[in-house]
A and B are shown apart, each in its own frame.
Chain A
Amino acid sequence: MGWLDRERTIAPPGFNRWLVPPAALAVHLCIGQAYATSVYKTALVKHFGASLTEIGVIFSVAIVMLGLSAAIMGTWVDKNGPRKAMFTSAAFWASGFLIGSLGIFSHQLWLVYLGYGVVGGIGLGIGYISPVSTLIKWFPDRPGLATGMAIMGFGGGALIASPVSTALLKMYDPNSGTKGWVASGESVGKLFLTLAVVYLAYMMFGAFTIKVPAEGWKPAGFDPAKVKAASLVTTDNVSARNAVKTRQFWLVWIALFCNVTAGIGILEQAAPMIQDFFRQPDGTSLASAAVAAGFVGLLSIGNMSGRFAWSATSDVTGRKRIYMVYLGVGAVLYTVLALAGSTSTVLYVALAFVIISFYGGGFATAPAYLRDLFGTFQVGAIHGRLLTAWSAAGIAGPLIVNAFLDAQGKPGALNAASYQPALLTMVGLLVIGFVANLLVTPVDARFHEPRPGRVRSEEPALEG
Chain B
Amino acid sequence: MSSAQSSVTPSTGRLVIAWALVGVPLAYGVYETLTRVAALFG
- Flag whether A301 is at the interface (Cβ < 8 A): yes
* Cα separation A153 to B37 with both chains bound (whole Å): 20
A289 CB to nearest chain B CB (Å) = 9
**Contacts of B7-42 to chain A: CB distance below 8 A:** 7-10, 14-15, 18-19, 21-23, 25-26, 28-30, 32-34, 36-41
- Flag whether A300 is at the interface (Cβ < 8 A): yes
**Which chain A positions have C-beta within 8 A of B10?**
14-16
**Which chain A positions have C-beta within 8 A of B39?**
288, 290-291, 293-294
* Cα separation A220 to B5 with both chains bound (whole Å): 5
Please classify the interface of chain A as helix (H, G, I), strand (E, B), loop, or mixed, using the class held by over half of its residues. Answer: helix
**Which chain A positions have C-beta within 8 A of B15?**
16, 18-19
Partner of A301, one of B25, B28, B30: B30
**Which chain B positions have C-beta within 8 A of A291?**
39-40
**Which chain B positions have C-beta within 8 A of A48?**
none
Partner of A219, one of B1, B7, B25, B29: B7
**Contact, CB under 8 Å: A29 / B22:** yes
**Which chain B positions have C-beta within 8 A of A216?**
1-2
Contact count band on A: 35 or more
- Flag whether A17 is at the interface (Cβ < 8 A): yes
**Contact, CB under 8 Å: A159 / B33:** yes
Partner of B22, one of A153, A215, A219, A220: A153
**Contact, CB under 8 Å: A13 / B5:** yes
- Flag whether A218 is at the interface (Cβ < 8 A): yes
**Which chain B positions have C-beta within 8 A of A161?**
29
Please encode chain A, from 341 to 357, with 1 for each CB lying within 8 Å of some chain B CB and 0 for all others.
00000000100000000
**Which chain A positions have C-beta within 8 A of B32?**
159, 162-163
**Contact, CB under 8 Å: B18 / A22:** yes
Please encode chain A, from 13 to 38, with 1 for each CB lying within 8 Å of some chain B CB and 0 for all others.
11111110011011001000000000
B16 CB to nearest chain A CB (Å) = 10
* Cα separation A304 to B27 with both chains bound (whole Å): 12
Task: Identify which of A14, A156, A159, A301 gathers the most chain B CB atoms within 10 Å of its CB.
Answer: A159
**Which chain A positions have C-beta within 8 A of B40?**
291, 294-295, 298, 349
Contacts A13-B5, A220-B7, A297-B36; A159 near B22 (Cβ below 8 A): no
* Cα separation A209 to B23 with both chains bound (whole Å): 16
Partner of A14, one of B2, B4, B8, B22: B8
* Cα separation A22 to B22 with both chains bound (whole Å): 6
18 A-B contacts, Cβ less than 8 Å apart?
A15-B7, A16-B8, A16-B15, A25-B22, A26-B21, A153-B26, A161-B29, A163-B28, A215-B1, A216-B2, A217-B5, A218-B5, A220-B4, A222-B4, A288-B39, A294-B41, A298-B40, A301-B33
**Residue positions of B touching A, CB distance < 8 A:** 1-2, 4-10, 14-15, 18-19, 21-23, 25-26, 28-30, 32-34, 36-41
